[in-house]
Amino acid sequence: MGIVYKGLDPDIEREVAIKTIRVDTGTDGGKKEELLTRIIREAKAAGRLNHPNIITIYDVVREKDLTYIVMQYVDGQSLQGLIDSGKPLLRREIFDILRPISLALDYAHQNGIVHRDIKPANILIDKGGQPLLADFGVARIETSTQTQAGTRVGTLSYMSPEQVKGETVDNRSDIFSLGVVLYELLTGKRPFEGENISTIVYKIVHSAPQRISDFNKDLPPGDDPVIQKALAKKPQDRYQTCREMMADLEKPSRTGPQTLTLDTGPAKPEAAAGGKRKKRLALGAAALGLIVVIGGLYLILSPQANNPAGPSADKTGLAKESPSPVPNSGGPGAEALPSFEEDMAKLRASFDGKNYDQAVKLAEDILGRKPGESAALEYLRKAKAELLAAQIASLLQSGTAAFRSGNYSRCGLDMERVLKLDKDNKEARKYLFLADEIMAEADIRKLIESNRQAEETKDLSTVLSHLGSPALAGQMQTDYQVLFNGYDNIKYIISKVAITYEGRWNATASFSYLMIAVYKKDGKRKSFEGTKIWQLRKQGGAWKIIDLR
């Protein structure tokens, strides 16, 4: 759909990715304009999403025939790159990637945004292992700007039936695509493959995929029905949220044996009556074993058995579960899995000890197994709030110290970061305005001086580089050529400089000038004086003249 550049935002010194938008040259003027308008509208809507696992869109810009999206740059690799590397992924590693992505998708869906292009190439993993979902608001753009011949088979393999048929899609289309990604990660194969577009489309719309257990016998038997539901042809038959799908996959009951099979068929001829008696004894022993196991599980899992006095409350006001031991059920040498109560005890201890990073991790792990667990949700909310407050306080302290020491650029950078975390922070807004105003004053005075020197040396290219409007540059080029061709020994005296700062990006500068020069035709010295007024705008980190009087 266009070229993607790695760039640098000079205002706050951050690396960005710049995705340019190409519209097919065959698109007529009216349709092209309508498409570009929709592109900008959808990208801006996606830019309002604020989630730690969604790539941030910083800006959407249209300048004449060029439209581009400026977004967060991720230093890492895509999930597609990880797949192509051939590195095998454990089932738990797969969930560690897809669980945050599923939460990000649910967040977007709750805000009325459908991704439309969920695939491994759009799941990025930074160097810290954090998965991020990219290209919200771009999928429909790609669909609209590509011809049928240019459609990519790789992308098509992840589309839902309603999407390939050109029907209206909703969040359940993304759930289907996420199911395709999960299928591929668990089996190493895509569920709908073919050598051409028509074959793939037919399979997506009409064919049920092969069971994942046919490819990977080590997977829990409960995974198959989850995949089948996620890849249902009709949206109403699928999971309605990504969280539901991940919760079903991570149910403890799905990770162990599901049934106990007893052979009750006819005895072999050679077994005779003694064999029948042994079978009855074996069945009786098996039944007795089942009763013991069920009774033991009841004693372990029953809250009354483990805590007859009922739950208590800790100092946070949250329900406090009493820990109950989990027996070692894995045979000799096996380690017991931590219980929910043990995990909650660790979570409480981390929060009370002000180890909020650890508390967040523990809470997220608990919620991965028990989505919607109210106590864990509350701890997660409070721990994140504490971390956010500490981050804001640190940035404010650093920014105000930078302001006092005269490092206004660093001050502005820190205050920008505060406002991304807390858009209504009055302290950050105040210092950001003061730092910007001081830096603008110095930069605009430098611009006036640079312009004075360029006019005295007849440096036309430098004078024109100060102009931020192509139309203005074209107009002023003629005026300056007349001045430079008609006069020599140009000298300027600048005085009474006044700058009015109008927000972060606009300003007005006025100053008095006296120009003395020698007129080439008669060799006489002439002088000109007056007042200049410049309308200025900050463009790409530099102040430019957009109008002058």
- Report the Cα 531 to chain-centroid distance in Å: 50
Which string of b and e fits 127-142 if b means at least 16 CB within 10 Å?
A: eeeebbbbbbbbbbbb
Angle between helices 340-352 and 374-404 (to 10 degrees): 30
Strand order of the sheet with strand 525-539?
487-502, 506-519, 525-539, 542-548
Cα separation, 164 vs 149, in Å, equals 14
For 239: left if phi > 0, alpha if psi spans -120 to 50, otherwise beta; the answer is beta
Cα separation, 182 vs 184, in Å, equals 5
Hey, what amino acid is at 370? K
- Residue 525's alpha-carbon distances to 231, 519, 528, in angstroms, are 86, 6, 10
Strands 312-313 and 525-539: unpaired
Cα separation, 259 vs 246, in Å, equals 22
What is the rounded (10 degree) CA torsion for 165, 169, 172, 173? 50
Cα-Cα end-to-end distance for the chain: 43
Cα separation, 467 vs 544, in Å, equals 5
**What stretches of 77-222 show up as alpha helix (H) in DSSP?**
79-84, 91-110, 139-145, 153-156, 161-164, 171-187, 197-206
**Secondary element (H or E) of residue 390:** helix 374-404
Paired with 243 in beta bridges are none
Cα separation, 189 vs 203, in Å, equals 14
Among the listed residues 465, 460, 453, the one whose alpha carbon sits nearest the alpha carbon of residue 481: 460
Among the listed residues 224, 161, 225, 154, the one whose alpha carbon sits nearest the alpha carbon of residue 194: 154
Residue pair 54/132 in contact (Cβ under 8 Å)? The answer is yes
**What stretches of 146-271 show up as alpha helix (H) in DSSP?**
153-156, 161-164, 171-187, 197-206, 223-230, 242-249
| 422 has catalytic annotation | no
- Residue 512's alpha-carbon distances to 476, 492, 533, 537, 549, in angstroms, are 19, 10, 9, 21, 12
Tokens 């409350």 belong to 313
Give 3-state DSSP helix, strand, coil % of the chain, rounded to 5: 50, 15, 30
Among the listed residues 496, 480, 484, 491, the one whose alpha carbon sits nearest the alpha carbon of residue 532: 496
Q: Which of 117, 135, 223, 343 is catalytic?
A: 117
Cα separation, 115 vs 128, in Å, equals 24
Catalytic residue IDs: 117
